[in-house]
Chains A and B, each alone.
Chain A
Amino acid sequence: MADAAELLVNRLSTLLGPQAAQSAVNTFCKRTVGVAPENLTAPQLKLVLPSFKPMLSILVGTTQADGLLASITQELK
């Protein structure tokens, strides 16, 4: 699932910049499912995505956060 984690970083980078996006993905993957992004499985990734919502809601607003996470979920299918 390294490519999926990469896509997640890529999508968040537009908004947060590459370093903050990478750092957020590392942090939330480890905090939510206890694994590094490159070792994420598909079911784990589904668990991780919602954990970004509070951060994104604060930084870009709830509607935008929902939209971004929905579009990432869609792309990962």
Chain B
Amino acid sequence: MTRSRWWVAALPVLLCVGVYAALRTMVAHGASMDEAYRVEGLLARAAAALGCGIAAAQFDRGDHMRRAWLILGTTYVLLLGNALVFGAAGHLSERTLPAAAKIVSAVLVAAANVCTIVGALSVARTWRLAGLDLQVSRTVRFASMAASLAIALAIAGSTSLLDLKLALGGHFDALSYLASDLGDIVSLGVLAPILLTALALRGGTLAWPWGLIVLGTVGWVLHDASGPIATALGMAPSELKPLSEAFRWWGCVAYLSAGLLQRQARLELSAPPPQLAVG
């Protein structure tokens, strides 16, 4: 069981590498990339939505984590719908859409990011609701929360201000970017309690889905930082988009793996326990 869990947990990184290699090869061969990016982007978001759905299905109606997973899943359903109808927006891709379509698209992206924020906050407060001991001092807890918030602001803060200025200047696409930036800041900002929960559960089957939520956030950090990473690695400008898309796969597939691992934890719990002698 543990071996199959490792494979499921490794899926985000393996697919990230595979997608990067495939996209980079296509770019190098001069393939027309618009359709390729559209299809792989849709598949990545669909994988994330599926993973959240699988995770939510392991809980009962009214359960806290069912709600949290459904809200996170709604994020990807909205982003999938937006990408299907309007094409994916991003700092690395321009769209030619009428102003009304841009506004509708921005509303969809904003709604998706509200779901990200609410979902991330719900997941982050689970330990407190459950009464779980994180096994770290209050100081460590607050310091780690402050650190994750500082990292979030360092990564997405300046971009947010830039997008805010653009949005105020009448650039509707910037509204979508701004909503994404805020979603990123909050989901990165609450990484510390999620990481501490995963660490507190280490050795148990539940540590796996929680660890994958953390791994997914790492993927999104890398996606957001793909520009600086490409620069630091001395990559050609044509390699930036494949890199950014590969990190998106990392972030999205982590939710699929988390869903599968949550399901595995439930199945193992349903299996009869080994017999222990009780005195």
Residues of A within 8 A of B (CB): 2-4, 7, 10-11, 13-21, 23-24, 27, 54-55, 57-64, 67-68, 71, 75-76
Bound together, the chains give a CA A50 to CA B270 distance in angstroms of: 19
CB A3 to nearest CB in B, in angstroms, measures: 4
Check B63 against A62 for contact (C-beta < 8 Å). yes
Check A3 against B278 for contact (C-beta < 8 Å). yes
What residue in chain B is nearest A26 (Cβ atoms)? B133
Check A64 against B270 for contact (C-beta < 8 Å). yes
Instruction: Kindly state whether residue B24 has any CB partner on chain A within 8 Å.
Output: no
Instruction: Kindly state whether residue B266 has any CB partner on chain A within 8 Å.
Output: yes
CB A17 to nearest CB in B, in angstroms, measures: 3
Q: Which residues of B contact A61 (CB under 8 A)?
A: 58-60, 63, 65-66, 266
Check A15 against B130 for contact (C-beta < 8 Å). no
Contact pick for A20, options B66, B204, B266, CB 8 Å: B204
Check B60 against A75 for contact (C-beta < 8 Å). no
Residues of B within 8 A of A (CB): 58-60, 62-66, 126, 129-133, 135, 200-207, 265-266, 268-270, 272-273, 276-279
Q: Which residues of B contact A71 (CB under 8 A)?
A: 272-273
Check A59 against B130 for contact (C-beta < 8 Å). yes
CB B260 to nearest CB in A, in angstroms, measures: 15
Check A16 against B273 for contact (C-beta < 8 Å). no
Check B63 against A57 for contact (C-beta < 8 Å). yes
Q: Which residues of B contact A7 (CB under 8 A)?
A: 276, 278
Check B200 against A20 for contact (C-beta < 8 Å). yes
* Known pairs A10-B276, A63-B60, A64-B269; A18 contacts B203 (CB<8 A): yes
Bound together, the chains give a CA A33 to CA B131 distance in angstroms of: 17
Contact pick for A68, options B132, B207, B269, B279, CB 8 Å: B269
Contact pick for A19, options B59, B63, B200, CB 8 Å: B200
What residue in chain A is nearest B200 (Cβ atoms)? A20
Check B133 against A15 for contact (C-beta < 8 Å). no
Q: Which residues of A contact B62 (CB under 8 A)?
A: 62
Check A13 against B135 for contact (C-beta < 8 Å). no
Check A14 against B279 for contact (C-beta < 8 Å). no
Check B130 against A58 for contact (C-beta < 8 Å). yes
Q: Which residues of B contact A75 (CB under 8 A)?
A: 273, 276, 278
Check A14 against B131 for contact (C-beta < 8 Å). no
CB B124 to nearest CB in A, in angstroms, measures: 13
Q: Which residues of B contact A17 (CB under 8 A)?
A: 200-204, 206-207
Q: Which residues of A contact B202 (CB under 8 A)?
A: 17, 19
Bound together, the chains give a CA A17 to CA B201 distance in angstroms of: 5
- Which residue among B59, B65, B66, B277 has the maximum number of chain A CB atoms within 10 Å of its CB? B59
Check B135 against A19 for contact (C-beta < 8 Å). yes
Give 15 pairs: A residue, B residue, CB < 8 Å, sorted on A. Answer: A4-B278, A4-B279, A10-B276, A14-B205, A16-B201, A19-B135, A21-B204, A23-B133, A54-B131, A57-B64, A61-B65, A62-B59, A62-B60, A71-B272, A71-B273
